[in-house]
Each structure stands twice: as C-alpha cells, then as structure tokens.
Amino acid sequence: MRIVVCHPQVPFARGGAEILAENLVGQLKARDHEADLVTVPFRWYPPDRVMTQALLWRLLDLDEVQGRAVDLLIATKFPSYVIRHPNKVVWLVHQLRQAYELDRTELGEFGEEPFDRAARRAVHRLDRTTISEAQRVFAISENVANRLERSLGLHAEVLRPPPQELDYRCEEYGDFVLSVGRLDRAKRIDMLVEAAAADDSLRVVIAGEGPDRERLERIAADHGLDGRVTFTGRLDDAALAEQYARCLAVFYAPIDEDLGFVPYEAFLAEKPVVTTTDAGGPLEVVEDRRTGAVVEPTPAAVAGAFAWLRAHPDEARAQGAAGKVEAAALTWDATIERLLAR
C-alpha cells in the first residue's frame, strides 16, 4: 500500500508523539509498504492562530501524489486529522488539550474574552466534523478515548503503540531514580526534585530537554541538591538505554497524561515505575505493588515510594520483571495489522 502518516511538528520539539509517527513510518516500510511522513509546523498560541493553523491541513491534497493514488492516510494529533482523504484513519494521540480538559487551568491558553471562548468552541466544531470523517478512529489509550467520548461523543478503539526500539537491558538496580521526557510543567518533574529535597538519600537523574529546565534547575539549586540531582539534557539512544539499564526505578507522573512511552521503556529494562493517582494514561500501565507504585501526587509520597524500593530490592526486581511481560506483549505486527484492517 501507499500510505501517508500526517503529524504536526512544533519546531525544536521532539517527544513521544514524534517518536510514534517516525516509528510508524519505519515499521510500515519494514513491511514493504510505501510510506512517508508529512508534517506541517504548528503553533497553538495565541488563540487567534489556532484555527488558521488548523485550516492549513484542510487545504492540503494528498489524495494522490505524482499521479499515483495514496491508498491510506493516517493522522495522529490535532490538527493533522483536519485533512481530507477518502481513506482517512485517525490514530489519536490527543486533541488540542488547551481547548478541552486544560481549559481554565494554569496550562490553558484560551482566556475569558469573547473571541477566545468563540475560538475554543470553533475547535470543538472542527474536531467533531473532521474526526467523524475518518473510516476508523483509534486512540493511543483509554484515557484519550474517554476524553474524546466525553467531549465530542465520538468513539475510538484503543490501540496502544509499542515504545521505541532501544538496547533495553537490566545491568543493576543502582542508586538513582531516572526521569525521562520533555522538561515541561505538565510533566511535573518538579515533584521529583522536591522529593529529593525531602529525602537526602535520594539521587535523581533527569534526562530530557524543554522549556521548564531553567526553573527545575533553579529549584534544585535552591534546595542545595547539586550532586544529587543531575540534568543530562537529551540523550542519544545508547546513553538512554544505559541509564535505564542502571537505575533503581523510573519516575513518570505527568498530570493526566495521554499514555506515555516511558513506563513501557522502563519495563523493557525490567525497572519498576512510580507514578501518581492523577497521572492519567500511566495508570493503565502501572499497577500498584505489581509493576511499580501509584502514590498521591506529593513529593513526600514520591520520596516514600522510592525509599521503599531501595529497602526492598527483591520486590523492585520482581515488579520490573512483571512489567517486562506487559511491555513485551505490545508488538508492531499486531499494531500494524489493526491499523490496516478494513
């Protein structure tokens, strides 16, 4: 088949959604499909730009390319699914969350001015129309599917994506906790830094880059955590696999996350994951006392979970092993088969 994967790209940003889109194209090619990734730069602010940016996708014509039909178009997150195609499939990473559950929170973008409220409603109308056009709608998690059902009354089949391919292995259960991901306020890495401040035996490695790095480094400095909290920046695949291989456990507790690859990556390295009761998608993956710990979203509770794992290395090892069984069940063969089924 000739397949196009559509994904909006925020310049200079690369996270799980970008990894998913790139991996999907690679996996389609590995199965002898002719596949390519189409991206359009995206900026979701200020509110008067949102609809203009979204409608750029509506103007694209990918029904055929160079005189040959495109058999299938797979769109991922807002606003890529706005595009028209006779055989459009949506694999929903997320809607424009600022127009839905994040509206009127500190992470929202739409103000109280009449224009802002109207722009938010316009996003809802556009989503309802353009997602409904799809031949099939999948969501990367139950959390994303439930948001779609609650907000627009649209149904999506849950299809979880496998994590990226790394040299996953377990070398030891070391003396540090690992955090992996974009340094953004919504990821709540400050909770982990504060946990290190609450427990002077907790050592933390934070892998990733993003707009919240300066604030996080300032918090660590204010608590005098030099030497116990290390910021590595973005790591290449080999270095990231090494950190997974050597850490005691992994912290992953964004606020109401879509899904997140990090728990699966941790599990493939046989490491338990600590998350929180309000983390959203990770709660579909991390089971308390079986594959990690689910605690209240406070630094003290997070610190306590890691202290328990340090004191119970056999249980940490068993939880990591149980997680590996769960993660290994996610395969690209099964994923591609469902995406391409008619």
pLDDT tens, residue by residue, 22-37:
999 999 999 999 999 9
DSSP 293: E
* 3-state SS, residue 270: coil
Tell me what pLDDT residue 43 has. Answer: 87
Q: What is the mean pLDDT of residues 330-335?
A: 95
The CATH number that applies at residue 234 is 3.40.50.2000
Tell me the C-alpha distance between 185 and 81, whole Å. 26
Neighbour order of strands in the sheet with 204-207: 229-233, 204-207, 177-180, 249-251, 273-276, 292-295
Band (pLDDT 50/70/90 cuts) for residue 71 is very high
Tell me the C-alpha distance between 158 and 171, whole Å. 33
Tell me the C-alpha distance between 92 and 138, whole Å. 6
Q: What is the value of pTM for the model shown?
A: 0.91
Q: 21, 76 in Cβ contact below 8 A? A: yes
**Could you tell me if 204 and 284 lie in one domain?**
yes
Encode pLDDT of 289-298 as tens digits: 999 999 999 9
Cα 274 to chain centroid distance, Å, stands at 16
Tell me what pLDDT residue 15 has. Answer: 84
Tell me what pLDDT residue 44 has. Answer: 84
Encode pLDDT of 304-316 as tens digits: 999 999 999 999 9
- Decide which of 111, 127, 159 is a domain's last residue: 159
- Split into its structural domains, the chain has a count of 2
| Residue 127, C-beta contacts closer than 8 angstroms, at least 6 positions apart | 78, 81, 95, 96, 151, 152
First vs last Cα of the chain: how many Å apart? 13
Q: Is residue 333 part of a domain?
A: no
Range of the domain at 191: 177-328
**Could you tell me if 150 and 6 lie in one domain?**
yes
Encode pLDDT of 218-241 as tens digits: 999 999 998 899 999 999 999 999
Tell me what pLDDT residue 2 has. Answer: 97
Q: What is the mean pLDDT of residues 119-125?
A: 96
**Could you tell me if 108 and 181 lie in one domain?**
no
Has residue 179 got a pLDDT over 90? Answer: yes
**Could you tell me if 147 and 241 lie in one domain?**
no
**Could you tell me if 225 and 322 lie in one domain?**
yes
Higher-confidence position of 46 and 69: 69
Q: What is the mean pLDDT of residues 191-210?
A: 97
Tell me what pLDDT residue 96 has. Answer: 95
Tell me what pLDDT residue 277 has. Answer: 98
Encode pLDDT of 248-290 as tens digits: 999 999 999 999 999 999 999 999 999 999 999 999 999 999 9
Residue entry with tokens 């409608």: 55
**Could you tell me if 183 and 150 lie in one domain?**
no
Q: What is the mean pLDDT of residues 133-149?
A: 97
Q: Is residue 134 part of a domain?
A: yes
Q: 143, 257 in Cβ contact below 8 A? A: yes
Q: How many residues does the chain have?
A: 342
Q: 74, 7 in Cβ contact below 8 A? A: no
Band (pLDDT 50/70/90 cuts) for residue 139 is very high
Has residue 5 got a pLDDT over 90? Answer: yes
**Could you tell me if 269 and 181 lie in one domain?**
yes
Q: What is the mean pLDDT of residues 203-217?
A: 97
Query: Percent of the chain, pLDDT > 70?
Result: 100
Q: Nearest 10 degrees: CA dihedral of 237, 44, 258, 114? A: 170
Has residue 49 got a pLDDT over 80? Answer: yes
Nearest to 107 by CA among 259, 220, 251, 212: 212
Tell me what pLDDT residue 264 has. Answer: 97
**Could you tell me if 199 and 281 lie in one domain?**
yes
Nearest to 174 by CA among 206, 133, 203: 203
